[in-house]
Chains A and B, each alone.
Chain A
Amino acid sequence: MPLIKEADSGTPPSAATEVVSLTIDGQTVMAPAGTSVMRAASMMGTAIPKLCATDSLQAFGSCRLCLVEIDGRAGTPASCTTPIADGMVVRTQTPKLAKLRKGVMELYISDHPLDCLTCAANGDCELQDMAGAVGLREVRYGYDGANHLCAEADESNPYFTFDPSKCIVCSRCVRACDEVQGTFALTIEGRGFASQVSASQSQPFMESECVSCGACVQACPTAALTETAIIDIGQPEHSVVTTCAYCGVGCTFKAEMRGEQLVRMVPYKDGKANRGHSCVKGRFAWGYATHRERILNPMIRRAVTDPWREVTWSEAIAYAASEFTRIQAAHGRNSVGGITSSRCTNEETFLVQKLVRAGFGNNNVDTCARVCHSPTGYGLKATFGTSAGTQDFDSVEHSDVIMVIGANPTDGHPVFASRMKQRLRQGARLIVIDPRRIDLVRTPHVQADHHLPLRPGTNVAVLNALAHVIVTEGLVDEAFVRERCDWEEFQDWAEAVAAPANSPEASEAFTGVPPETVRQAARLYATGGAAAIYYGLGVTEHSQGTTAVIAIANLAMATGNLGKLGAGVNPLRGQNNVQGACDMGSFPHELSGYRHVSDDDARGVFEALWDVELDAEPGLRIPNMLDAAVQGAFKGLYIQGEDILQSDPNTTHVAAGLAAMECVVVQDLFLNETANYAHVFLPGSTFLEKDGTFTNAERRIQRVRKVMSPRNGFGDWEITQMLSNALGFTMSYSHPSEIMDEIASLTPTFAGVSFAKLDEEGSVQWPCNAAAPLGTPVMHLDGFVRGKGRFMLTEYVATDEKVGPRFPLLLTTGRVLSQYNVGAQTRRTANVAWHNEDLLEIHPEDAEQRGVRDGDWVSLKSRAGETSLRATVTERVAPGVVYTTFHFPQTQANVVTTEYSDWATNCPEYKVTAVEVALSNGTTDWQTRYQAHTRRSRRIAQPEPAE
């Protein structure tokens, strides 16, 4: 599509319902009360000249360009700050206004470089536009007065430049950082002629509080803040709307192109998940697609100790297929399996599970949700009937109370966190339950009412204590429970949580949370209005992960916080398409749409369409596949877009499992850690190089659109298709839309989904079918999907992972803003400027006891293994708790994590590991050996020179 220039109405819309009628330039306009005159004019197609106004920000009224004349009012009010009134008569163009506007522009241009023709913003500059719009022909001040033309540019940020000589001090950047992002990193320093934009305390952007979200660059009307890519490459010439491939927020972007070269990603204002905002990753960190480490040719090798050999696609596919066939013949049908990717599209994931079920003939297929939100799937299905969150992101705008449990949204879901902070700044109350003092607890202009810094592993105890307060203090929404839930189940549950052992006072002994804090938090959640729970992996990655999800569902049901805006249970899904991967039937026990494989009716529909008999028994989950491999029963694995050796727990065990297999096929962008043990490497494609759909944490299905030809030659779906055909199970799709049509025909909750509908609507949230043709924003409105909401008891069972004299500290893990998961993508971008190694956070008391100072190398040891990394001493963790991230393979953080997992889903207990920390000299023997092994495993044989 041609370059999309979204209309800018000047000021945000009004939410009022009352409609007002006025006359602008002789035309009658109707608009909601509270709308600005500027916006009302734009609604009828009249663009009043403006510089400091933009519709993503509140009106500011500083540039004085948008003046209008209003009958009956003296002077020339600014149209951006003037709300419409019934019967108002406005003129936007008069001789007086023309003179005033020219005067304003003369002042601006008298202090502005006149290098338009060679300026990066040439063609995309609002100052240019306004000079034209007001008919500027001369600047009577001349150019010899005091000016800012010699101001030096700040190029510290790798992705954008700040050139103060081109700044008109409209404050849009400051306001964007405040209102949209919520970081407040910018200000105007000084005043009058000396006013200038300052990042923090007049520092280079990279040293300031800036988080590089790009909102200021987007808001800037001149070249003052410009993407480095625009400076280097030039203006783009066409756009493609697509969806980000990083986190579960699923921001919509315009990929702005020159031919097949991506110039920049600009957030799309109409994106329902992000509403025109972005974070550093989606906005800027897409360079990994053209990184030199990207593998573009298929490779095979007989033994993992051999160097890789580049071969043709047909040879690689044929080799992989023949190996899987051989292995199944020798070791049985169940000796092979597949892992789908939560980064690849719904269509691609669907094909991988189809290949496994129809091609391999078993149900040994799983996905990374195993290690993150599988407890969400189980817990919410059991209690509500749907394996997904209940609301959309917009719902947060109606929340009165927000409870964040085991999630760190400012780092993990930054764009959604910005929306949450907007609501918090409006006065919503905040409860944070997390062992660590995450940013959200106290960040400029936002402060949690209650922070419950519980001991890792005690989530269920704290949730039970909250329930105890709600039940024993009479805070239950009885009407809701009687109508929507099973009353007897509720009574059983209420009796259980009311037991004294579940009181906040009794729980303090092992949770470490003061009882009064628990009581106040519980009262706030139950009585503060529409209360929403947002939770993440700090809830699910525990041996009682599913139990905690159930406990959360219980709290929401007991207080009537479901089926309405502003409330609900909201799992913050991690990856761009992990929700989709689950929806597509990536689990070994479920077909698409979460129907059990033993359900003869559901399975029958698939069997009929695919013309093949399918296995009715559940297959192996990833940890079970590895166990079976070590036992010698599981020999072949097809892995698409997943790096289990870096991301799964207990690295030694994963390595042992992979090493025991005879055919490991890795389909990925780079030679990752898992590829060290692979026999076939099939180069995959990025989200920029294929068509398809992703489903975000809101159940929102959004289009991914191809902007460039796949550098590796094929979309991932085409590769799976080739492999399936080579295995003897025919697939003949010519376009991903056909795959979605098949998904829709087989999956009742997706029945109304098609590429055509998505093109028309932009996105839909499933369920999308005859009952809800345009999708379902908020679920369980009148009743739960399973009928009555189900209360289940959640007895607290302390994890087996205990501290002791050898391992006296508890390790928990998380993420940072600039890096993403295993870092495969972000490590290959300039984001390493912010975070180029994993650090161990340790409390000053624990550090002092061990002689550890900030920056020292320390060893991190558990009963599973040992690794080394550098320490950072901070009070964000409590004494007795340490924390790190897992973005860098050299850290080998998962050498330390254990095999303990959630009882229901085997989701690993990443968040609770008993460790000891001590000073060390540097990397461990394991890390050194591992790195040497990695180097050897990544050798690619040079082709023999021709005779």
Chain B
Amino acid sequence: MSGAEVDRLVTMANQIARFFESQPGDGAARATADHLNSFWAPTMREQLSEHAAAGGSGLSALVAAAVPLLRPARTDAPG
């Protein structure tokens, strides 16, 4: 994935996290992960996880905390 494409994912993830961070309580990481699980296609979530595993440059702390809660793509998908 190119630098520009990674930047885009990082920007979008940070934006999402920023919203949930502003909500009261401490469920922000969970809420961020829930949003990503609900709305991001598996490939995008995978790319984010890979980027996080490779150091996660640019990712906000909250995104980094949400990454472990991302659901991996279901392998029993229809062929």
Contacts and interface: CB of A to CB of B under 8 A. Distances in A.
Interface of A: 333-334, 361, 363-364, 492, 496, 543, 546-547, 588-589, 596, 598, 612-621, 624, 627-628, 630-631, 633, 792-795, 797, 800, 899, 901, 903-906
Contacts of A906: 12
B19 A617 contact: no
Nearest to A619: B41
Given A334-B43, A361-B78, 4 more contacts: A616-B77, A617-B73, A633-B43, A903-B18
Nearest to A903: B15
Interface in B54-79: 73-74, 77-79
B35 interface: yes
Interface in B6-43: 8, 11-12, 15-16, 18-19, 22-24, 35, 37-43
B77 A904 contact: no
B8 A361 contact: no
Contacts of B35: 904
A617 B42 contact: yes
B18 A792 contact: no
A333 B42 CA distance: 13
27 contacts: A333-B77, A333-B78, A333-B79, A334-B41, A361-B78, A496-B24, A547-B19, A589-B38, A596-B38, A598-B37, A616-B74, A616-B77, A617-B41, A617-B73, A618-B39, A620-B43, A620-B44, A624-B44, A627-B5, A631-B2, A631-B5, A793-B22, A800-B11, A899-B8, A903-B16, A903-B19, A904-B39
Contacts of B40: 618
A797 B11 CA distance: 14
Given A627-B8, A904-B16, A615 B78 contact: yes
B43 A492 contact: no
Contact of A361 (B16, B37, B79): B79
Given A617-B74, A792-B23, A598 B38 contact: yes
A620 B18 contact: no
A842 to B, nearest CB: 31
A619 B44 CA distance: 10
A589 B19 contact: no
Contacts of A620: 41, 43-44
Contact of A904 (B11, B19, B37): B19
A620 B43 CA distance: 9
Contacts of B22: 793-795
Nearest to B77: A615
A792 B23 CA distance: 7
B21 to A, nearest CB: 8
Nearest to A491: B24
B41 A588 contact: yes
A779 B1 CA distance: 46
Contact of B77 (A364, A617, A630): A617
Contacts of A588: 41
Closest 9 CB pairs of A and B: A903-B15, A795-B22, A613-B78, A492-B24, A620-B41, A617-B42, A361-B78, A903-B16, A793-B22
B41 A793 contact: no
Pick from B1, B40, B78 the residue with the most CB of A within 10 Å: B78
Contacts of A797: 15, 18
A598 B24 CA distance: 27
A363 B12 CA distance: 21
B24 A793 contact: yes
Contacts of B37: 598
Given A333-B77, A361-B78, A618 B38 contact: yes
A614 B41 contact: no
Nearest to A358: B78
A866 to B, nearest CB: 20
Contacts of A794: 22
B48 to A, nearest CB: 12
B19 A614 contact: no
Nearest to B24: A492
Contacts of B43: 334, 620, 628, 633
Contacts of B77: 333, 361, 615-617
A547 B79 CA distance: 38
A547 B16 CA distance: 11
Nearest to B17: A903
A559 B22 CA distance: 23
Nearest to A900: B11
A616 to B, nearest CB: 6
A361 B5 CA distance: 26
A298 to B, nearest CB: 30
Contacts of B19: 546-547, 795, 903-904
B41 A624 contact: yes
Contacts of A800: 11
A799 to B, nearest CB: 10
B17 to A, nearest CB: 9
B33 to A, nearest CB: 13
A792 B18 CA distance: 14
A612 B78 contact: yes
Contacts of A363: 41
B41 A618 contact: yes
Contacts of A614: 78
A57 B72 CA distance: 63
A633 B24 CA distance: 39
Contact of B12 (A492, A616, A903): A903
A821 B12 CA distance: 27
A618 B22 CA distance: 25
A615 B43 CA distance: 14
A793 B16 contact: no
Contacts of B12: 901, 903, 906
A615 B15 CA distance: 27
Nearest to B35: A904
A198 B16 CA distance: 57
Pick from B8, B35, B77 the residue with the most CB of A within 10 Å: B77
A901 to B, nearest CB: 8
Contacts of B78: 333, 361, 612-615
Nearest to A902: B15
Contacts of B1: 631
B47 to A, nearest CB: 9
Nearest to A620: B41
Nearest to B25: A492
A800 B11 CA distance: 10
Nearest to B44: A624
A612 B79 CA distance: 11
A373 to B, nearest CB: 16
Contacts of A628: 43
A749 B2 CA distance: 43
A496 B1 CA distance: 40
Contacts of A496: 24
A797 B16 CA distance: 12
B42 A793 contact: no
A904 B30 CA distance: 15
Nearest to A546: B19
A615 B41 CA distance: 11
Nearest to A633: B43
A497 B41 CA distance: 34
Nearest to A596: B38
B2 to A, nearest CB: 8
Contacts of A617: 41-42, 73-74, 77
Contacts of B73: 617
A793 B16 CA distance: 14
A364 B77 CA distance: 14
A334 B37 CA distance: 17
A793 B23 CA distance: 6
A495 B53 CA distance: 38
Pick from B2, B8, B19 the residue with the most CB of A within 10 Å: B19
A795 B20 CA distance: 10
A434 to B, nearest CB: 24
A600 B41 CA distance: 17
